Structure 1
């Protein structure tokens, strides 16, 4: 496969995923009157789809990591699943703009390559209530070893998540 075709393959697959947004929201946003949710999901998708080709993420300032994040309960039976490898762009930390995520999340596919699976927004927790995005409050606050106390919002735009579009962990993502 040439680099050009590899670059386009995830975009075509993602276009089908975007068409599923209405069904992914079937449970409804936290505020039923929030018509901005489908629009903001489409905006986030349009802003991040190019990063399905991982080298573009690195080129645009998302720092590659070799640490795969999984639910601590995954050591034995149970647990919520994994997140994957977070590529963080510090310029996006604090943003609730659908075009400016703080992190892109990749998981290793059966082909051994990393594939974009989710996007994450991170806001420092400084005593304020959880910010809202996509019609619901962020998760948290949590303590992050690098960023301190944070709120976060995961969106599984590029990989189906049986736990839900906005779940923190995906039971179908495993860390090596």
Structure 2
């Protein structure tokens, strides 16, 4: 199976790169648009191998057993897989998280990535250290998603599955969580959050 999958992944990555890395004459891309496209091409190359879920796990991305959805109904993240060695990375090739969805055949399909940067002063009221990547500012600062996680900034990129709300939006309405896969609500009714 791995033999047949590799050429398909290589072809998919090549098509994605050709669509992103070379702006057309009609697009009249600005320098910042070209820089963002180049950075996205780096992400495509760096994460193409993670289309095979086992490769991501082998590379240190730890899967959460629950699919994360926005309880307000704006979409889902899918199953987060965090590699905390890449916390505070703004390197396009080193996202801190990968997001997968069920592929309908018992496996997982890569849909998006995320960068996570800790707030320098740990004060959610200030944002003078807000990072950016792809010419896009990170969201936040926001409180940690689990006890002990610092106040942080985040940037999502829906690189492997289009997000109708926008490429950098947090939740993707095109990503769904199957029944029974979402983290149960904790006692007291607080919303579920991804636990990296």
Superposition TM-score, scaled by structure 2 size: 0.76
| Structure showing the higher strand proportion among its residues | 1
Q: Which residue of 2 aligns with 1:174?
A: 176
- Does residue 83 (structure 1) correspond to residue 108 (structure 2)? The answer is no
* Uncovered stretches (5+) of structure 2, i.e. residues with no partner: 122-127, 179-196
Separation in 1 of the partners of 2:48 and 2:31? 27
The answer to whether the 8 Å contact 1:11/1:52 transfers is: no
SS at 2:113's partner residue?
strand
Unaligned runs of 5+ in 1: 74-78
After TM superposition, where is structure 1 displaced by more than 6 Å over at least 4 residues in a row? none
Check whether the contact 1:18–1:157 (CA below 8 A) recurs between aligned residues.
no
Instruction: Name the Cα RMSD after superposition.
Output: 2.0
Is the aligned partner of 1:67 residue 2:66? yes
1:137 aligned partner:
137
Corresponding residue to 1:160 among 156, 159, 162:
162
Alpha-carbon distance change, 19 to 163 in structure 1, aligned in 2, over 3 angstroms? farther
Superposition map of 1:87-106 within 5 A: 87-106=81-100
For residues 170 and 18 of structure 1, the distance between their equivalents in structure 2, rounded to whole angstroms, comes to: 22
User: 1:2-59 deviations in whole A, cap 9, x for unaligned?
Assistant: 1222344344334333344359xx8x8xxx6423101100111111111101111111
Shift of 1:154: 0.7
Cα distance change, pair 19–161 in 1 and its aligned pair in 2 (3 A): farther
Kept after mapping to 2: 8 A contact 1:14/1:158: no
Residue by residue over 1:85-105, the C-alpha shift from the partner in whole angstroms, topping out at 9 and shown as x without a partner, is 111111100000111110111
Q: Is the 8 A contact 1:81 1:170 kept in 2?
A: yes
Task: Give the number of the structure whose alpha-carbon radius of gyration is greater.
Answer: 2
Preserved CA contact (<8 Å) 1:71 1:169:
yes
| Aligned counterparts of 2:13 and 2:174: Cα–Cα separation in 1 | 18
Supply the distance in 2 between the matched residues of 1:36 and 1:124 (Cα, whole angstroms).
24
Equivalent residues in 2 for 1:10-21 (5 A)? 10-21=9-20
